[in-house]
Amino acid sequence: MTKLLACLLFSAAVAAANPYVLTFLSEVSVDSVHKFVELHGEPDDQSMDLNGWQLVTTTSACTLTHYLQYNEFLVVDSEALALREAVRGTLSLNPLGDSVTLLDSTGRVVDWVCYPTYPTGHGKAPLPPVPGSVAFWNFDDFEGQSMNWYVDSTPTPGWDNDDQSRIAGTLTGSGGVTLDEASVYASGTNGHCHCGLYQQTGYTISGLGAGTYYGEH
């Protein structure tokens, strides 16, 4: 019993010391054909009561009246604003540069992104292309959390984000022995992400925008 209690206390301490960052801003498009902001709870498809929350840009604000279900994607656009079922107000996005801030019902900042901002990462996105969008990658594993905004040439409002770049490879040690326990990091102007290896021979780092990256392990 003493050993079990010690293990439980240790696990709780580790979780408290290493909480992951919960985000909701998932994709942004400034294209006049379909201008939108997508909300989705990450990294674990979180559900959340968004009633009374606000989505604010430099020139607009709208109030959410919706409970975000597990694995649901809420798209705030002209259609949603016209229906007034999940959101009310206005949404304006400057295609040359803007900020999008999500506030909870008490006015606390829950999530935000500014564009264009480099190097990209949590809260910092490249300039959204037209056509196209900027999408968010939020992944958590035993090595920690990777978050990055990247250019998406194929917007997916209401669905999982796609089109992120990937880097794949293997690590070898002395004598050419393939390593299966390591941490691999890639960083550059268009993002920085990592991959933790544990009893596997290859790695894939996702969530990066197109560009040149420097790696370390």
Provide the residue ranges of all domains of the chain, joining segments of one domain with +: 22-210
Q: How would you write the pLDDT of the chain (217 residues) with one tens digit per residue?
A: 333 333 333 233 333 344 679 999 999 999 999 999 999 999 888 899 999 999 999 999 999 999 999 999 999 999 999 999 999 999 999 999 999 999 999 999 999 999 999 999 999 999 999 999 999 999 987 678 899 999 999 999 999 999 898 899 998 888 888 988 888 889 999 998 988 888 888 888 999 988 889 888 7
The span from the CA of 65 to the CA of 52, in Å, is 6
Question: How many Cβ atoms from other residues are within 10 Å of residue 94's Cβ?
Answer: 13
- CA-nearest of 95, 92, 97 to 55 is 92
Other Cβ atoms within 10 Å of 83 Cβ, number: 10
**Which of 140, 197, 132 has the alpha carbon at shortest distance from 164?**
132
Element (H, E) at 82: helix 78-83
**Cβ neighbour number for residue 196 with a 10 Å cutoff:** 15
Distance CA 99, CA 47 (A): 24
pTM (predicted TM-score):
0.87
Rounded to 5°, the CA angle 134-36-161 comes to: 45
